[in-house]
A and B are shown apart, each in its own frame.
Chain A
Amino acid sequence: MLEISGLGHAYGTHRVLEGIDLKVGEGELVTIVGPSGCGKSTLLRCIAGLVPPTEGKVVLKGAPIDGVPDDLAVVFQDYSRSLLPWLTVRDNVALPLRRRGLGKAERRAQAVKALASVGLEDAAGKYPWQLSGGMQQRVSIARALAYKPTLMLMDEPFGSVDAQTREDLEDLVLQVHRAEGMTILLVTHDIDESVYLGDRVVVLARNPGRVRDELPVTLPAGRDQIGTRADAEFVRLRAEVGRLVRGVVKDSEPPDATDAEDADAEAVATAVEEPAKK
């Protein structure tokens, strides 16, 4: 359903992404993992139509993406800034439904239903800032669910919550994926997470960001935090992905840039990203 071909992005002369080819099938949960500064977030923003790619194209359900597509939802890493503090949790979830042509009561009913599916039915009347970080990210997920997108993009969604909450939220994503059959593309820098969640893991290399390899995850669909992580297959995959992320591969690729260069690249990326969004 999602087809990316030859996608590249450059901020001025700085190439962030180059020659990205990626296909995502209906109902698949694909994780994208890579070292920091490999352009993961830019790739996601290109797919979301928030940033126009400088080359190549993204096709969603047969239609090339030009601007934000209609049935796509994004869960951002920064939940506290992505939720609107002046609206209650329920209204935050209901607001995007305005353009679905639903009445107010109907929007609210759907919002409450989506909140119930992430275990937050009791928090509907609260404000986001009255909730813990993990609960706020649940609200973001509920907002995306209520929107009923065909493709859900998640940009390092659990990057700023504690480990325990993170595991709970990972299981929530798996549960949602199974229950709704939604196609999900999740970006992370966490190798374990990419293997635990994905049907398929796409590993990116950096400078410029490109696909290094893709690995099908051969774990059974029903996963759990303790058992799956102890599984020999999980351990093997994690080691494999870890090697790929660190750039330790057989072929003659140059070793990855140093951390200093990496920080530069990130700074450039964020500096240029803001005006580019306009």
Chain B
Amino acid sequence: MTAATLTAGPARGARGGAAARVVRGVLHRLLPLVVLVACWEGATRASGSVFFPPPSKIVKRMREMWLSGPPSHLYFSAEAGDSIAPSLGRMALALVLSVIAGVVLGIALGRSERVLAYLQPLMQFARVIPPPTLVPVFIVLFKLGTEMQVASIVFSAIWPVLLNTADGARSVDPMQMATAEAFRFSAADRIRYVIIPASLPKIFAGLRLALSLSLILMVFSELLPGTSDGLGFELTNAQSQSDLPTIWSVIVLLGVLGYLFNTILLAVERRVLSWHRGARKADS
């Protein structure tokens, strides 16, 4: 939620004052993190444990591994291209597939009460299966590597999108649908201009869940045999060599990525759904 309040800032008011307030807000929120990292640094240095390298060492390792490349590659190293890029590529592909399939199926389900009634129990059942338990099944079903990994991510990320879209599409205001009918909107226009916008707040809520799930499944699917690149592979590789700074580097990077994606998504959501906040404020 910090990200939400961070990007929020005051919408109006004096420019300079607002900017100063935002900067102050950011500093205040970062303070606990800075204190925590400082304590961690102190404690790990004092203990000297090989399992817990100090943050400074982790950051150094991260730079060496991923940011030691030439300026022409924005300093990204070849190793970053071998581990981070394939992971993110698979995650992005899987997320796009989940959103497309989830929204299309969700609208179909949400607008047809009978189909929803038939499929609801089945979906609720499929949804509660922990996705990692299905990964072995996907290994059998799909080709090892990218295909299986993308399938694993899609199977977990699609549910929140699908169920939220169905919920949103079902609860479109009947008055808005009556208006669309009275003005004889075509079926495509009804979906594009009424049903999808009306469902967007719910779709975004599902998307946020899908995002964090896909990050988890991205790493998990790369921990399995048949993987030759990606962050998860780097993790297993480092583990086998007892390379703890690298393990920690991957963990920190995953945290940073998760935070970054969430912040970006929230910023997009704020833009796309500005009407929603405005309308809700006007209502109350």
Contact = CB atoms under 8 A, between A and B. Distances in A.
Contacts of B185: 95-96, 98-99
A86 B197 contact: yes
Interface stretch (B48-56, B225-233, B241-249, B275-283): B275-283
Chain B residues touching A, range = 20 to 34
A73 interface: yes
Contact of B282 (A76, A130, A277): A130
B279 A85 contact: yes
A84 B193 contact: yes
A121 interface: no
Contacts of B177: 277
Interface string A33-63: 0000000000000001010000000000000
B174 interface: yes
Nearest to A74: B182
Nearest to B111: A278
Given A70-B184, A98-B189, A84 B282 contact: no
Interface in B253-273: none
A96 B181 contact: no
B275 A127 contact: yes
B173 A87 contact: no
Contacts of B186: 98-99
Interface string A81-122: 110111100000001101100000000000000000000000
B194 interface: yes
Contacts of A147: 183
Contacts of B181: 50, 68, 277
Nearest to A78: B175
B278 A129 contact: yes
A72 B173 CA distance: 22
Nearest to B182: A74
Nearest to A69: B184
B175 A130 contact: no
Interface string A249-278: 000000000000000000000000010010
A73 B183 contact: yes
B7 interface: no
Q: Is the interface of B mostly helix, strand, loop or mixed?
A: helix
B278 A277 contact: no
A147 B183 CA distance: 8
A78 B183 CA distance: 16
Contacts of A81: 173, 175-176
A124 B279 CA distance: 17
Contact of A274 (B174, B197, B282): B174
A84 B176 contact: yes
Chain A residues touching B, range = 20 to 34
Contact of B179 (A82, A86, A98): A82
Interface string B196-236: 01101000000000000000000000000000000000000
Contacts of A99: 184-186, 189
A130 B186 CA distance: 28
B179 A76 contact: yes
A155 to B, nearest CB: 10
B178 interface: yes
A138 B36 CA distance: 58
Contact of A129 (B194, B197, B200, B283): B283
B197 A84 contact: yes
A86 B182 contact: no
Interface in B144-203: 173-179, 181-186, 189, 193-194, 197-198, 200
Contacts of B276: 85-86
A143 B183 CA distance: 10
A277 B178 contact: yes
Contacts of B198: 86
A173 B184 CA distance: 23
A127 B280 CA distance: 12
Nearest to A81: B175
A48 B176 contact: no
Given A84-B193, A95-B193, A277-B177, A73 B279 contact: no
A29 B183 CA distance: 21
A82 B175 contact: yes
Contacts of A74: 179, 182-183
Contacts of B275: 85-86, 127, 129
5 closest pairs, A vs B, by CB?
Answer: A96-B183, A129-B282, A81-B175, A85-B279, A74-B182
13 contacts: A50-B182, A68-B182, A72-B182, A74-B179, A74-B183, A84-B193, A86-B198, A96-B184, A99-B185, A129-B282, A147-B183, A277-B177, A277-B181
Interface of B: 173-179, 181-186, 189, 193-194, 197-198, 200, 275-276, 278-279, 282-283
Given A85-B275, A127-B278, 9 more contacts: A50-B181, A50-B182, A72-B182, A74-B179, A84-B193, A99-B184, A99-B186, A129-B279, A277-B177
